Structure 1
Amino acid sequence: MASLAVLLVLLAVTFGARAQEALTLAEGVHVFVGDTGEPSPANRGRIGNVGFVVGDSGTVVINAGASYRHGRALLAAAERIGGKPVVLVVITQPVQEFVMGAAAFADQGIPVLAHRASAALIASRCEDCLHRLRQVLGEDEMAGSRVHRPERQIEASTTLEAGGRRLALIHPGWGSSPGDLMVRDVRSGVVFAGALVSVDRVPELRDSDPRGWLAALDALQALTRGEAGHANAVDMPAGARIVPGYGPPVSAAALDAVRDYIVDTEARVHSLFDAGTPLSALVQAAQLPRYAGWALYQPVHGRNVQQRYLALERATLVE
């Protein structure tokens, strides 16, 4: 665990200092590993991972970065490293660190694709996200940033060829968000899971359907388990074919920790709800020490239990 934490820190420092650096997971498959904390002037808001897959004639970027400036840097780095023009951007979830750089790609005539439900959330709430990022990061860092609603939208799983590379866009249902997408490079077997997976970082449950999320993790494990060596990884150990939204690439076994957090949080919240615990005492009563060392435990776990508690209240009123 300690060695993983050190790796995360080193990768985050490298990414923050030189956005052009990338890990190579397989032939033509790369990832920029971002910070796992909250947006801050120190990390410039460059949280979470951005991937790109290079085909015979073009490159597909997976998630667009946290600002216009970040998006421009990613575009330049992907084209320099891959040697091919970026022809498509795919947004896996409607979170600010994945969407705020999309305008930098759109301004170069590069289409941006997302699930229809993600596009709707981007349009309805990302102006608020942009306002908060400007407050935290400053006007200079966020200069030129604007909300860009993806112009290409899908409603179900599909397979496409872009840049001469075949990609499976997998919508597992409503998991971490109603418009979750996973991107699987058919040639290598590498899967970009976005916010469905985080490594040693508390996942945000705000937009989630916990049962759907668990089902999506089961599907992802089934998709990638038993394919050791298939990706012909260059910089990572054999079997590290899942690119999470946060943290380094991992194998299917690492998904167990994400599943455990969701299950344990749901169980604790249901228990406290059934016991009539008041909302004012909820956060303290719902502590889960097993996860206290994860990134964002203090700010996010408390929000998670409050949101899940209120969801139970709403469900009870409907009944």
Structure 2
Amino acid sequence: MRHSDRRWTFGPAALRLAAALLCLITFAPAAVLAQLDAAAAGRMPQGLAEGVHVLVGDVDAPTPANRGEIGNIGFVVGEQGTVVINCGASYRHGRAVIETAERIGGKPVVLAIITQPLQEFVMGASAFTERGIPVLSHRASAELIEARCETCLRTLRTQLGEDEMAGTRVVVPTQRIDGDTVVTVGGRELQLIHPGWGSSPGDLIVRDTRSGIVFAGALAGFGRVPELRDGDMAGWLAALDRLEALAGQDRDLVVPGYGAPAGTHALAALRHYLRDIDTRVHALLAAGTPLLEAIKAADLPAYSHWARYPLQHERNVQRRYLALENELFED
């Protein structure tokens, strides 16, 4: 069932005075971008427009040093409430996200949206449901969370330690959509856009209609090697085209899942990587190169400076090789 004409309205919550406000920059995206590196280094939210903020996370793998706080989290503040985009990596992180969002915007958090079923976006949801805050995702993401996130949680406990992950549990979103939807939450209208199967089967793009700012989640990462585990190559490239068109309507500003927000021009490098790895692996497979040799032969030095390149790129080559090999057998 499609939801292209459906509108959801969440009831108003009690108003609060703002405890603190960051500088809100509505008409100067270049000035915003110039501040983001400093904000990311201190894990401080950065204002992008009136009522729109981003908390830029680490771009590396989860480690005790970064406490698993990888990936970006968004806040969109309306007159009656705040929407959080992605929940964080643990119960502790989720609580900190809620506290920060409410301190910055001065409004209660009334909804959390998960853009992809990734541990850094999902594991903090337990803090939201503890507060009675609904969690929304695409139906396919909810199904993947239910199917595999207990394994992710066990892995994070090993990587980060039991103390860091204390209180964390897997929460499957109860608010689910199947297609493009418009929601009005806390007095703010948001477009929730499912571009098809791109980085995952349940990708969501969140566009704040008032500012025009677009949150891409894991569909976009700037300066970081993407993860192809759940991706569909053709669908991902098509999703980037739709993302570019959405962001280019207004402020030309994309908030990626990883890395600092940037204009739509930054999507070009991600497109090039996806096409380059696909072309290289196609050529190696056609030449009869065995998988283990192909993993080393598919080095792409142009991207070697990106975060997570050595290990993640090799994993991507392996996954793309096996996917293409499977397609050949099916034919």
TM-score scaled to structure 2, two decimals?
Answer: 0.88
1:227 deviates by 2.9
SS of the aligned residue for 2:68 comes to: coil
Residue 296 of structure 2 is aligned to residue 284 of structure 1: yes
- The answer for the alignment partner of 2:210 in structure 1 is 187
SS of the aligned residue for 1:303 comes to: helix
- The answer for the alignment partner of 1:236 in structure 2 is none
User: Contact 1:11 / 1:34 at 8 angstroms: preserved in 2?
Assistant: no
**What is the letter of the counterpart of residue 14 of structure 1?**
G
Task: Tell me how far apart the structure 1 counterparts of residues 39 and 289 of structure 2 sit (CA, whole Å).
Answer: 41
Change (3 A) 1:112 1:267: same
1:8 deviates by 7.4
- Give aligned pairs, total: 298
- The answer for the alignment partner of 2:271 in structure 1 is 259
Task: Tell me how far apart the structure 2 counterparts of residues 9 and 316 of structure 1 sit (CA, whole Å).
Answer: 44
Residue 109 of structure 2 is aligned to residue 86 of structure 1: yes
- The answer for the alignment partner of 1:126 in structure 2 is 149
Across the aligned residues of Structure 1 and Structure 2, the Cα RMSD in angstroms comes to: 1.3
Task: Tell me how far apart the structure 1 counterparts of residues 306 and 292 of structure 2 sit (CA, whole Å).
Answer: 24
Residue 239 of structure 2 is aligned to residue 216 of structure 1: yes
Ranges in structure 1 where 5+ consecutive residues have no aligned partner = 1-5, 16-20, 229-238
- The answer for the alignment partner of 1:13 in structure 2 is 41
Task: Tell me how far apart the structure 2 counterparts of residues 275 and 158 of structure 1 sit (CA, whole Å).
Answer: 45
Task: Tell me how far apart the structure 2 counterparts of residues 203 and 12 of structure 1 sit (CA, whole Å).
Answer: 19
1:280 deviates by 1.4
SS of the aligned residue for 1:114 comes to: strand
- The answer for the alignment partner of 1:172 in structure 2 is 195
Superposition pairs for residues 129-278 of structure 1, below 5 Å?
A: 129-225=152-248, 227-228=250-251, 239=252, 241-278=253-290
- The answer for the alignment partner of 1:3 in structure 2 is none
Task: Tell me how far apart the structure 2 counterparts of residues 8 and 52 of structure 1 sit (CA, whole Å).
Answer: 15
Question: Of 43, 47, 59, which aligns to 2:70?
Answer: 47
User: Contact 2:77 / 2:83 at 8 angstroms: preserved in 1?
Assistant: yes
The runs of at least 4 consecutive aligned structure 1 residues that moved more than 6 Å come to: 6-9
Deviations 1:153-187 (A, max 9, x none): 00001101000000000000000000000000000
1:225 deviates by 2.0
Change (3 A) 1:11 1:272: farther
SS of the aligned residue for 1:287 comes to: coil
Question: Of 136, 139, 143, which aligns to 1:113?
Answer: 136
Change (3 A) 1:43 1:8: farther
SS of the aligned residue for 1:89 comes to: strand
Question: Of 82, 93, 100, which aligns to 1:70?
Answer: 93
Task: Tell me how far apart the structure 1 counterparts of residues 187 and 263 of structure 2 sit (CA, whole Å).
Answer: 26
Task: Tell me how far apart the structure 2 counterparts of residues 196 and 224 of structure 1 sit (CA, whole Å).
Answer: 13
1:223 deviates by 1.6
Deviations 1:190-232 (A, max 9, x none): 000000000110000110011111011111111222534xxxx
Ranges in structure 2 where 5+ consecutive residues have no aligned partner = 1-33
Task: Tell me how far apart the structure 2 counterparts of residues 224 and 39 of structure 1 sit (CA, whole Å).
Answer: 29
Question: Of 306, 311, 317, which aligns to 2:323?
Answer: 311
User: Contact 2:200 / 2:232 at 8 angstroms: preserved in 1?
Assistant: yes
- The answer for the alignment partner of 1:29 in structure 2 is 52
**What is the letter of the counterpart of residue 307 of structure 2?**
A
1:7 deviates by 7.7
Task: Tell me how far apart the structure 2 counterparts of residues 192 and 57 of structure 1 sit (CA, whole Å).
Answer: 21
SS of the aligned residue for 1:221 comes to: helix
